Structure formats: structure tokens, C-alpha cells
Structure 1
Amino acid sequence: MTGVMEGVRILEVAEHTFVPAASALLADWGAEVIKIEHVERGDAMRGLASAGVAAVPADVHVLLEHSNRGKRSLGLDLTSAEGRDLLYRLAATSDVFLTNKLPKVRAKLQIDVESIREHNPRIIYVRGTGQGERGPDADRGSYDSLAFWARAGIASGLTRPEYGHVPSPPAPGFGDSIGAMTIAGGIMGALFHRERTGVASIVDVSLLGTGLWAMGQALGLSLVLNMPWEPLPLNAMANPLVGNYLTKDGRWLAFSCLQAGRYWPPMCEVIGRPELAVDPRFADHTALRDNSTEAIALLREAFAERTLEEWRSRLADFVGQWAVVQDTQEVAVDPQSVANGYIQDLETAAGVPFQLAAAPVQFDERPPATRRAPQFNEHGDEILAELGLDWDTVVDLKVRGVVA
């Protein structure tokens, strides 16, 4: 793979997933990322022991690995003048400064735009926030389950009255990872703009804004029709070939054949009911829509007669669009995932093997190679030496708690 970000240095002062995962993507694509961590505890993610429904393994902190792969780590006390001076010296040699600190914290630590650009006017300054840089909630922290999921309308769009509850996000860091991809794209655009014009931009991405973009089509329809977006009732399928069907062994098949009239005859062949293709009730798209209840009932009955593996065989040559509803273990060994390098094999510093999802953008027809996340302050001495500090100075800074 071409390392399209090679030669770019990113200085990160951020924790958790949303913002760090953005520079992790850029590291996969060749950027050098220096991660500044709290001088004593490191990134707060290092202490997270559970993802809500599953414990994080002690020997492989995959949540940390996902959002910090390929970086170098330096523990630094940014509340001290000497710690900030070291940060400023790193900023002077960096292309991008990336942070998720709130406005009041950025001001307190003196890592706001003006403070950083005083040491490097050409640096691209990137802020990842919960609700945006302006407005009454600009200085309030958030998580993807709140700003992206609940506040942006995604949870509401999935909530059905019969559930009696609001669905939770499907995975830890779900909105964070989507938002990180958005930040990474913004950084690449800002770098291109600076290359062409010499002007360094300020880049802002929020979880709320990312959630609104993900809901963009529903939002547009909602506003033009002057009604809130709500999910369709469970049995409101107007097109019998758009929906999910249960197999004999309790698995689900998902179909999205938008041209029902075109795909109905071949579907009838697949289920072994060719006579339904010429049934007047299902003669064309309009007839299928008008008689969707009957068509759906026939399909449900048919799919319940065979197992998933039997349907895989029967659907292999089906011209319509379909997929098996898979879990995370299944998709990891999906032939398409394997063939395209969508799952990467790694090892921790201790040599423990694990796997992660690859960066979703490939350059020159090869998946990006992923490297493990750093241990806390793993590269501290190395980075300080690159700044020209001799060992006696480094030891003195360690003793006084300025560096880890």
C-alpha cells in the first residue's frame, strides 16, 4: 500500500476513542503520530476494564489498540510550564495538532489555537468535540452514546413502541469510530489545502454533527415533510423483497431487491415455487406492492423450510441483492473480509496475538498494514532525545514529574 500520509507528523493531546481513532487511521496510512498522555495515568482508556457487555482482556486491551495503533507515546505534565514548553517544541515540528479537550481545558493548559500557533503558524489545528465548538453546550463533554446516538436522532429512528425501551448503540465506540473517520478526512483535506495555498486551517468535527450527517437523508425528509422521522412498523414491508427472513435453523437472511417486479420470478425459482412468478397477484411491481402481505407470508413459509447453509447454496446464483445477517466472529472470516484484508493480524508488545479491523480506505489495491498501540510512555526517552535533551536533563524532568 502507498503510505499517502508519510512525511506528516501529528501531535495528539486526546483520550478515549473519538479523536485518537482519527490519528490511528492516519498512522495506518503512514503518518507519524506522537501521542501525549497524562504523565501519571496515561490515556484514560488504559484504565477501562469493561465495554459494557464484555470485560476487556488484561493481556490485550483491544479498545485501546483500535484507537491508538501505530503511535508513539510520551507521558507529559501539561499543567507545568516545562511540560508545555516540551509540547510547544514538538508542535513546532508537527503538521497537525489534534485534541479533544474542552475549550475551558484548552485555555487552562494553554493549548488553544493561539498558544499552539505561536510556536508554529503553519500547523493545522484540529478539535473533536461532543456538540460543536459554538453554542450553549460547547463546553460540555459527551460520549458517542449521547451526542451521536441519542441527540442526533439515531436512537429515535430505531425505537419502536413495542420495544418499551430505547435501543443502545450496537458496539462500543460505534459513533466514535465513524466520527474518527470524519476527522481523518478533514485533516487530509486541510493538508491538501495548505499544500495548495499555504494556509493552515482550523478543523472542527463533533459527534453531534457526525450523527446528523449519518441521519442526513432521514433529516431531509423529516424537515421537508414537517414530521419527525420514525421507523416503519414491523409488518409494514411494501416490497416483499426488501426485508429479513428467518431460516429453519434460526438464522436471518436480509434482502434489498428494490425492483420487486424484476427479481420476483428468479426468487420464485430459488424457493422452488415457479408457479408464483405467473400468479396474477404478483405479476409486476405494483401487484406485489398491493399484495405484499400474501407475498411476504409465502416467503416466510418458504425460508423457514430450509437451513442457512441450504439457502446459501440455493441463493448462490440469485441475481438479486442479499446477505446473511452475520455476527462479528462470522464477518471476521467472511471470504470477502479475508480476500480484501479487512481484518489485520497483530501482536502486543508481549507477543500476544490479536486482530483488529483495518482502516477502511485502501490505496493502490493493498490494505494498510496496522501496527500495535504503544505502551504508556514507550517512546518517551526517544522523543525527548530527538528534541535534543541530554540524559541528565531527562532524568531531572522525570524526578520532578514533568515527564513520565
Structure 2
Amino acid sequence: MSGLLNGIRVVELASWTYVPCGGAALADWGAEVIKVEDTAGGDPCRNLVVGGLTPESSPVRANFMMELGNHGKRSIGVNIKSERGRAIIGKLIASADVFLTNWLPGPLERAGLTVPQIREFNPNVVIARGSGHGSRGAERDRGGFDAASYLARAGVAYALSPSDVEYPVTQGPAFGDLQGGITLAGGIAAALFHRERTGRAPIVDSSLLAQGMWAIAPDIAAADYYGVDRIPAGPAGTALNPAVNRYKTRDGRWVQLMLLQTDRFWQGFCERIGRSDLATDERFVPLSNLVANQEAATAELRRTFAERDLSEWQKTLADEPAVWATLASPREVLDDPQVAANGYLMDVTDDTGKHYRTVCAPVQFDETPPPPSHSPEYGEHTEAILLELGLDWDDITAAKDDGAIL
């Protein structure tokens, strides 16, 4: 069942991608998520251009970044700094199970949305906060984005960059945001379970800094245990164990080997790739010798993989019992039969009838993908939500005249 959270209402006061994609995961799991946007343009992610890919140049009427973080939600446009707007946000929170936000403590305080004030609206609401650097400490009010707070400050780029490259690794858009969002969604689910069990609604906190540290926790632990900067790694393109490395094919593609139990798989692997001589070469067996002579072994495997195209290697390794994979492009992932079999992509239709796909939250229940859904238009559901809250058309008209709503 994809509707595990049916009946749960989430009020989301958040923008960009990190916290909103946590809300999108909750929507995938069945929650009703109401996205609160301001009256001065809404979520700035609506106007985000990544890699020169503008919404105007897209063949479908959808912003792919907005779809990732906001599909399945409803949008209401409210000026929460106005008196009427604050009354509306209060009614929303009073009706909610979860208040989800990435607003920092200072702006929340100025908006009259501190924890005690939120509890005045609804003492049983789970308050969930996603930040750049955590809810405590001197930098609690400092904003963050994933390339800075996750990739840079948490040590991710340092840990993943080979020592011999000129520039450290970078990331694609929202890389840390998406990891952080699904973690935050899991924390919210745990808080709802706790509330169900005990009647007490906890505060949930996570941050991009914490998520980045979790991503490279082995390196951070090793830094403490051994006094090193990170887990030792060789130059780019090498690995201490040559059977856990990437190799380039004749047509410029790559194969990732993951023969972690190398002594168990080495002989059969070598025979399968037509190099049975490597299986009996005393330099490469057992594993301790393979590691000791990794330069020679890596050279042999590089030479072998460079003799055939990727398609040939895929056929050769089709029955390989050890783990390996092709380095796939995002376009190839779209058509991966295993992706289709598991419903990992959501097929959506825009208002002109054109189809597009977006990635679902990476957790399913009872082997059931979530139903297709799209991101709401800016303030699309403002009037409908206000009517549900008990406002009449005179109230709505007055709020529009005051500029309290779109």
C-alpha cells in the first residue's frame, strides 16, 4: 500500500529542495501535504534554472526541480506576516499532524512561529525542522545549501576527492538535499509513531551538516580512531583492491567491479573474462597478494577491459555471481528494466497531454509504488483550502483585498 500515511496532514512552510523533498516523500506515502507559499512570488525553486535548462525550453509544462520536491502537494499562497495571514496559518497548523519547515529560528520568531506559539495553535502537532547546521549553536541562524553545508563543510568533498586531482569533486543539483529530505521524512514517520504510542508529539530536527557527516561516517570515525584526515585512498582510478575498482571499456564506457569476497570469486571471474592466467598468478592470489601487487593487477585488468566494448562485457558478465555494474547515464536509468519493474519512476501527464517522468521517494510499502502526481501551480489550491478551514467567500474576499492571500 502506498497510502500508509492516509489521514495525516502536513503543513509545509519551506522552499528550495531539501525540506520540500521530505514533504514529497510523505506525500508519496499517502499524507496530505499543504505547501504554504508567500504572496510575493512563492517558492524561489519555481524560477530555478539548472545547467541552462529553463522551463521555457522544456517540451513539457513542468519544472523538473519543482516536480522532485513538490509532487503530490497542494499549494496555498499566504502572507503570514499580516494579521489575517497569521490567523490562516494558525488554522492550518491547528488542523495538522505535522508542521514542516526550513525557516531558521530568527525568521520563525519574527513570524510568531516559535515552538511555544506553534503549540498554542496545536499542542499535538509534530514540529519538524530541516536546517543547514542544526537547531543549536552559534550558527543555528546561518542559512545553508547542500553544496556548502553538506558537500563542503561536512567533509564529503574532501573525503571523496582523490589526492592527485586539481579540483575537489562537486555535486549535481540537490544531491545532499535529496538524501537529507528522505532522512527527515523517516524522522517524521518515527515521531508520528511515537505520538500514536504515547500521545506526545516530539520535535524532529535534522540538518544538511548532519546528513553529510552520516554520508562519510566511516571517514570521520577513522579520522578519530587513527588520527588521519580520511580513510587512505590511492590516486584517481586506483583502489587498494583491484577487484573493487572501475575499468574503462574500448568504447569509453566504465564497468564497476565489487568483488568484496575476492578470494571466493577471483578464479571464476578471471576465467569468465578470458584471463584464467590471472587466477593462478601467485602475485594475485590470495587477496593479500592481490593487494600487495595492486599496480600490476590493475594494469592487467585495464588492458583486458579496454579490448572490448561495453555491450560485449555486459554479455560476458551477465552470469557473473559477484557484484558488478555498468556506470549508467541518467538517460539510461530512465529505461532500466529493473527501474520499471519496481515502479521507481512516476509517469505524469501535463495539462497539454504530454508525459514526463519524475523519481519517486526511495521507500515503498507492500511493493506498491505511489500513484502519479504533479507539483501544484503557485497558490493553486488557496481558495479550496480556505473553504475547508471554514472560511466563507466574504472572508476570502476580504483576505484577498488585504493582500493576506493570493
TM-score band w.r.t. shorter chain: over 0.9
* Aligned-pair CA distance for 1:236: 4.7
Alpha carbons 1:261, 1:288 under 8 Å: kept:
no
Q: So what's the TM-score if we normalise by structure 2?
A: 0.96
Deviating above 3 A after TM superposition, structure 1's stretches of 4 or more consecutive aligned residues are 349-352
Return 98-107 or 290-299, whichever deviates more.
290-299
Work out whether 1:31 is the aligned partner of 2:48: no
Q: Distance in 1 between matches of 2:303 and 2:223?
A: 35
Aligned to 2:54: 56
Pick aligned residue for 2:349 from 343, 347, 350:
347
Work out whether 1:183 is the aligned partner of 2:181: no
Letter in 2 for 1:365: E
Give deviations 1:148-171, integer Å, cap 9, x for gaps.
Answer: 1100000111223432222211x2
Alpha carbons 1:247, 1:306 under 8 Å: kept:
yes
Aligned to 1:200: 201
Aligned to 1:157: 159
Change (3 A) 1:351 1:115: farther
Alpha carbons 2:165, 2:236 under 8 Å: kept:
no
Letter in 1 for 2:190: G
Aligned to 1:11: 11
Alpha carbons 1:343, 1:357 under 8 Å: kept:
yes
Alpha carbons 2:128, 2:203 under 8 Å: kept:
yes
Alpha carbons 1:260, 1:288 under 8 Å: kept:
no
Give deviations 1:27-85, integer Å, cap 9, x for gaps.
Answer: 0110001111011301111121x11x242333320101110111111100011011010
Q: Distance in 1 between matches of 2:284 and 2:189?
A: 50
Alpha carbons 2:237, 2:246 under 8 Å: kept:
no
Aligned to 1:263: 265
Letter in 1 for 2:177: D
* Aligned-pair CA distance for 1:235: 5.8
Change (3 A) 1:275 1:167: closer
Change (3 A) 1:2 1:159: closer
Aligned to 2:83: 81
Alpha carbons 1:186, 1:203 under 8 Å: kept:
yes
Letter in 2 for 1:184: A
* Aligned-pair CA distance for 1:295: 1.8
Q: Distance in 1 between matches of 2:405 and 2:239?
A: 61
Aligned to 1:313: 315
Aligned to 2:100: 98
Give deviations 1:182-231, integer Å, cap 9, x for gaps.
Answer: 11011000000000000111111111011111111111111111121164
Q: Distance in 1 between matches of 2:200 and 2:237?
A: 54
Map 1:129-140 → 2, pairs under 5 A: 129-140=131-142
Q: Distance in 2 between matches of 1:5 and 1:235?
A: 45
Alpha carbons 2:134, 2:209 under 8 Å: kept:
yes
Alpha carbons 1:358, 1:370 under 8 Å: kept:
no
Map 1:219-230 → 2, pairs under 5 A: 219-229=220-230
Corresponding residue SS for 1:354? strand
Q: So what's the TM-score if we normalise by structure 1?
A: 0.96
Work out whether 1:128 is the aligned partner of 2:135: no
Q: Which runs of 5+ in 1 are unaligned?
A: none
Alpha carbons 1:60, 1:352 under 8 Å: kept:
no
Letter in 1 for 2:219: A
Give deviations 1:119-156, integer Å, cap 9, x for gaps.
Answer: 11011111111000111111111101111110000011
Number of residue pairs the alignment of both structures matches: 401
* Aligned-pair CA distance for 1:293: 2.1
Q: Distance in 2 between matches of 1:310 and 1:236?
A: 23
